[in-house]
Amino acid sequence: MITKINSCGLRGMDGYIISVETSVSGGFPAWEIVGLPDAPVRESKERIRSAMNTAGYVVPGKRIVINLAPADVKKEGACLDLPITVGLLTASEQVFCGNLSKAMFLGELSLDGAVRGVDGVLPMVIKAYQSGMTEVYVPEANAEEAAVVEGVTVYGVKTLKQLSDHLTGRARIRPTTIDIKDIFGRAAAYSYDFSEVKGQENVKRAMEVAAAGGHNILLIGPPGSGKTMLAQRLPTILPDLTFDEALESTKIHSIAGMMPKGAPMILTRPFRSPHHTVSAVALSGGGSNPKPGEISLSHNGVLFLDELPEFRKDALEVMRQPLEDGVVTITRVQGSFSYPCNIMLVASMNPCPCGYHGDKKHDCTCTPKKIQHYLSKISGPLLDRIDLHIEVPAVEYDDLDSRVKPESSASIKERVNRARQIQTERFRGSGIYSNSGLTPAMCEKYCVLSREANSMLRAAFESMGMSGRAYNRVLKVARTIADLGGSERIEAEHIAEAIQYRSLDRKFWA
Ligand SMILES: Nc1ncnc2c1ncn2[C@@H]1O[C@H](COP(=O)(O)OP(=O)(O)O)[C@@H](O)[C@H]1O
Ligand SMILES: [Mg+2]
């Protein structure tokens, strides 16, 4: 007998239907899996045999052929264990069940018949829904994640025995449902808050500007000045995730196998802080069995590169294009696909190898040559993609000792939200979402300067020896500052503040 069972594979961010065709016929006992299976799929035979025995079934001593269609795409991972097993059970007439043409099966089996969780369930269930399937059978560990998709019945499966009992009608599995509105409606909860950072008003203001315009930001200061502390708190002042953003971020985490335990969805803006030894592939994504990298895991959130000069040069270089485009493109023999990476980059660094160059209380022990070498590790083109550079001085004793409670993240976020609202309306239909995405041509249209602002920018341009790129970045940042101030026109005070966020260029990289 021949049966067809639906399952799913992943290509980039999207699922594609895999049809598992099983033929059990008389003849010399043999078992073949064809249709470009990779090693884990070929090895599934041993897992399936053992799991079937545990559940009280046998692999028939007949000629078994399993074809994974479409035949020209390489099938990866172990998530085909479950559909292959169901195919075998039905084709060998050990299990009689109703029509399975609108059902999809996903899951890995362990030797004792338990169904283990797999990666990428959300995009695969979305594909099931789009292809007109009405029910999906997924590992119980992934059931809530699958239930995010409305319109399909989700069965979380614990063991093969439980599944066969369900299919034959002996004991039905209760479908998994979640109240997505309720889960999504819960306010994003962060364990950090800006009110914990004392003093550092200038730096907090710069971070507010960065958050309001979606600008990348570089923090430079001595060890212990609070750079890491400040960066961690950036997500708390970004606007709440929209449902679509949350869905995209969840998809990426699901594909990467990085879903937090017990959470059906990513509800807060991601904050990723890879160690500086991270490889280029781990940062940007790819590999032989392609997975999203850190830059995509940070999609819709913050990628924090702590101690920027310590990162490998090749790792930083591969980030340049994705930073610009908001997507990582991965090319394979079978074609290319992409992972989104719409992120805010926050980088931190010491001003020199010892960390105290320019510090008021410590002497720097580095030679100018060493400092030069240290700074030169960061390439100009990467620096060019960071709109705000800000110095984080060591915190003052009076600030630490102060009883004044600093402003909370919630109250900063209100201003950020207002500024973002202005941008959303301004850029509607133009393909960009925040001031950080302004192209030079758009700057001309959207950044209208008052006369004083104009002459101030001209003077700074001459005296600071600004490049054309630097000029554009000052304009973009000034646009954000004006938006925060609710001003349509860019005034001198906005330009003055924006110029200040570029002064480090001159101090350190002159
Ligand atoms: N402005 C500040 N207010 C409160 N605590 C601070 C402040 N700056 C630094 N700290 C304390 O110092 C610690 C070290 O800061 P950290 O962010 O690791 O510094 P850096 O990354 O610049 O080396 C923080 O965990 C925090 O406890
Ligand atoms: Mg640090």
pLDDT of residue 370: 87
- Residue 222 Cα: closest atom of ligand 1: 22
Write out the H or E segment, with its range, that includes residue 229. helix 227-232
Tell me the DSSP string of 296-363: HHTTTSEEEETTGGGS-HHHHHHHHHHHHHSEEEEEETTEEEEEE---EEEEEE-SSSSS-TT-SSS-
- Residue 230 Cα: closest atom of ligand 1: 17
Instruction: Report residue 507's pLDDT band, with 50, 70 and 90 as the boundaries.
Output: low
Stretch 342-346: mean pLDDT, rounded? 95
Ion ligand 2 contact residues with beta carbon within 5 A? 228
Distance between Cα 217 and ligand 1 center (Å): 18
Which of these, 261, 309, 277, lies nearest to 294 by C-alpha position?
277
* Angle formed at CA 468 by CA 465 and CA 473, multiple of 5 degrees: 100
- Residue 200 Cα: closest atom of ligand 1: 1
How distant, in Å, are the alpha carbons of 321, 343, 475, 487 from that of 494? 30, 25, 9, 10
Distance between Cα 304 and ligand 2 center (Å): 11
CA separation for the pair 371, 352 (Å, rounded): 5
* Model confidence at 504: pLDDT above 70: no
Range of lowest pLDDT (31-45, 52-66, 289-303): 31-45
- Greatest mean pLDDT among 58-62, 133-137, 367-371 lies in 133-137
DSSP state of 114: B
Distance between Cα 310 and ligand 2 center (Å): 12
* Model confidence at 84: pLDDT above 60: yes
pTM above 0.95, yes or no: no
For the stretch 282-307, pLDDT in tens is 999 888 778 999 999 999 999 999 99
Q: Tokens 């000034």, residue?
A: 478
Under 8 Å between Cβ of 447 and 472 = no
Closest residue (by CA) to atom 17 of ligand 1?
226
CATH node for 194-422:
3.40.50.300
- Residue 223 Cα: closest atom of ligand 1: 23
For the stretch 347-394, pLDDT in tens is 999 988 888 887 778 888 888 888 888 888 888 788 888 999 999 988
Pocket of ligand 1 (CB under 6 A): 197-200, 221, 223-229, 395
Closest residue (by CA) to atom 26 of ligand 1?
226
For the stretch 449-489, pLDDT in tens is 999 999 999 998 888 878 888 888 899 999 999 999 999 99
Distance between Cα 383 and ligand 1 center (Å): 25
* Model confidence at 322: pLDDT above 80: yes
pLDDT of residue 505: 65
- Residue 231 Cα: closest atom of ligand 1: 17
Distance between Cα 401 and ligand 2 center (Å): 21
Stretch 304-327: mean pLDDT, rounded? 91
Stretch 125-146: mean pLDDT, rounded? 96
Closest residue (by CA) to atom 10 of ligand 1?
226
CA separation for the pair 454, 458 (Å, rounded): 6
Architecture of domain 438-510: Orthogonal Bundle (1.10)
pLDDT of residue 184: 81
Under 8 Å between Cβ of 221 and 394 = yes
How distant, in Å, are the alpha carbons of 481, 492, 505 from that of 499? 11, 11, 11
Range of lowest pLDDT (218-227, 426-435, 486-495): 426-435
CA separation for the pair 509, 387 (Å, rounded): 15
Range of lowest pLDDT (4-18, 43-57, 144-158, 393-407): 393-407
Closest residue (by CA) to atom 25 of ligand 1?
229
Mean pLDDT for the chain? 91
Distance between Cα 223 and ligand 2 center (Å): 7
pLDDT of residue 37: 82
pLDDT of residue 106: 97
Closest residue (by CA) to atom 15 of ligand 1?
226
Structural domain spans, the chain: 2-178, 194-422, 438-510
Which of these, 2, 61, 7, lies nearest to 37 by C-alpha position?
7
For a mutational test of ligand 1's pocket, the pick from 205, 229, 308, 310, i.e. the residue with the most ligand atoms closer than 8 A to its C-beta, is 229
Q: Which ligand is nearest to the CA of 223?
A: 1
pLDDT of residue 36: 84
- Residue 221 Cα: closest atom of ligand 1: 22
The length of the chain in residues reads 510
Architecture of domain 2-178: 2-Layer Sandwich (3.30)
pLDDT of residue 414: 96
Q: Which ligand is nearest to the CA of 226?
A: 1
